[in-house]
Structure 1
């Protein structure tokens, strides 16, 4: 999984855009109107920006920020909204739109493994309690194997807790992988 997370996503030359690189809910700031409705959103935490396919950011965001049922039910709307906004900004700037909505759909599917792996890796951190956080101060290279074993024990215990949302959220991603043909 770490190999896929670090090395897998190779962008299509046709779809190179300025990509956030760490696009998920915790890196979004919202401004609300008096009625409590969101009227503006800003991405923060910009140290991972690079040229890449938007499919990687979309997978990262949709797999880490939504439950599987929400994402599956609304995927087409998410992709259409992204594409419509992206292409309208380019048109307003008198720049050509380099790819179609269908191209984006295909690229999203091609990079779906990245979204799945990101979900698997980040779910324990996102849904963990304070006591679940790994102790990493003063860890040396000699300690890595024991730290990894302790982390696995923590993740297993998180899944065994009464009423654990963690277990459902983590297992949902395997249904996504089967649906995408990544697992059989």
Structure 2
């Protein structure tokens, strides 16, 4: 989903004095006076998908002192179609409710069994007004956390940290569900309200978008001289992607959220020691392996995934089990069941990687890969699109071969593509 941002300041009008003042007083207390604030962009082109994430520099008065403080602010990014605006508004609403209602309850369950809270930013202010949303979070950069390199593959050390924290995220959601029983579904009903099917226009856009992703994938494979079986297979599933993804998300064992961004904490030698999870716009109930596929298929190189898959899943399972052991409960599944579920849902990871990897590798906005409007079906539009893809691929052959082709090789190994 793309937008027309040129810089963070295009979204500045969404942030008001009363937003900043409320966050400041939540953090520093009522006896503070907001004096000034400004935005400090630390993202790059291609980082702005459905939200803008920026530094928020605040100067405030307390007593006779003037003090500077920094926060992280997440603002709605302007979208160019109503379908996109509806989808983004739904996603922002889900994230706000997650921070306000669900995350505190999940952390409460962890506290009951003597475990630390989840590694997520502290939310100081959350508000949604019509199509605009504002989240103000505590700044973790002062604690030596830094943004993951979003356009390059995660190395094994970062991947392991994320898997461990993701396991705690999933297991705490199941502890909460067990504690609340039948009330859980009704209390957190926003988990079952999807962002991609919030309206009929949104569904139509989503279907059109993924049809376009298939076209993009075929064009990329032709330029890279990929396996012809894969090209034929992609052409056979075109127009069925929505149904396939719906089927992949039927299992509802746990919460699911997209690990699209993250921060990592480092020791004095520069080694990563903690992973902070961010971005909860698509938090939902789903099979927990959908998150594993999003992480491993999109953010990890094909070689590292293939060589370390069982170890990655073992690490995840061990961290998951530690939470249930602390609670004195039996783990709801065995490792071999997790591994089988991961293989059963491989199409989920493939289709999202098909959508996201070319966009990441290109370094461009999503709108440069798929039309911001409903895709035109004309030959002229398709030709222009493919001409644009060809020019982008020309300088990215190596990275696409390392990240894009392996997702289809795995389907060939499983006999799904033949």
Instruction: Give the TM-score of the pair, scaled to structure 1.
Output: 0.82
In the TM superposition, residue 99 of structure 1 has moved relative to its aligned partner by 0.6
1:87-126 Cα offsets, whole Å, 9 max, x none, are: 1112212333111101100000000111111111111111
Matches of 2:364 and 2:249, distance apart in 1: 35
SS in 1 for 2:368: coil
Q: In the aligned structure 2, how far is the partner of 1:162 from the partner of 1:31?
A: 30
CA distance in 2, matches of 1:162, 1:10: 32
Change in Cα spacing, 1:167 to 1:99, as seen in structure 2 (3 Å) is same
Aligned residue pairs: how many? 177
The runs of at least 4 aligned residues of structure 1 exceeding 4 Å deviation read none
Deviations 1:123-159 (A, max 9, x none): 111111348951889x544x64469624433223333
Q: Are the structure 2 counterparts of residues 96 and 153 from structure 1 closer, same or farther at C-alpha, using a change threshold of 3 Å?
A: farther
Aligned equivalent of 2:278, options 23, 44, 49: 44
Deviation at 1:3, TM superposition (A): 1.8
**Does 2:234 correspond to 1:10?**
no
Q: Distance in 2 between matches of 1:44 and 1:119?
A: 19
* In structure 2, distance between residues paired with 1:135 and 1:70: 27
**2:80 counterpart residue number:** none
Q: Which residue of 1 aligns with 2:414?
A: 180
Task: Go from structure 1 to structure 2 and tell me whether the alpha carbon gap of 1:67 and 1:140 turns closer, same or farther (over 3 Å shift).
Answer: closer
Q: Give the Cα–Cα distance (whole angstroms) in 1 for the partners of residues 403 and 242 of structure 2.
A: 22
Correspondences of 1:14-25 after superposition (within 5 Å): 16-20=253-257, 22-24=258-260
Distance in 1 of aligned mates of 2:350 and 2:363: 22
Instruction: State the shift of 1:7 in Å.
Output: 1.8
* Native 8 Å contact 1:59 1:115 kept in 2: yes
Distance 1:6 1:106, change over 3 A: closer
Contact 1:8 1:114 in 2 (8 A): no
Q: Which runs of 5+ in 2 are unaligned?
A: 1-209, 211-240
Deviation per residue, 1:148-183 (Å, 9 max, x gap) = 624433223333337542244222222111012210
Q: 1:31–1:5: structure 2 CA closer, same or farther, 3 Å change rule?
A: farther
Identify which of 286, 300, 304 aligns with 1:70. 304
Contact 1:132 1:154 in 2 (8 A): no
Q: Distance in 2 between matches of 1:69 and 1:135?
A: 26
Q: 1:30 to 1:148 in 2, by over 3 A?
A: farther
Aligned partners of 1:12 and 1:53 also within 8 Å: yes
Indicate the structure (1 or 2) with the bigger Cα radius of gyration.
2
- C-alpha separation in 1, matches of 2:389 and 2:310: 32
Other structure's SS at 2:404 match? helix
C-alpha RMSD of the superposition: 2.7
CA contact (8 A) 1:112 1:180 kept: no
2:281 match: secondary structure: coil
SS state at 1:8 partner? helix
The correspondence for 1:114, drawn from 348, 355, 363, is: 348
Unaligned runs of 5+ in 1: none
Counterparts of 1:101-140 in structure 2, within 5 Å, are 101-130=335-364, 134=368, 139-140=372-373
Please tell me whether the aligned partners of residues 362 and 396 of structure 2 are also in contact (alpha carbons under 8 angstroms): no
Bigger relative contact order, structure 1 or 2, given CA contacts below 8 A and separation 6+? 1
Q: Find out whether 1:161 has 2:395 as its counterpart.
A: yes
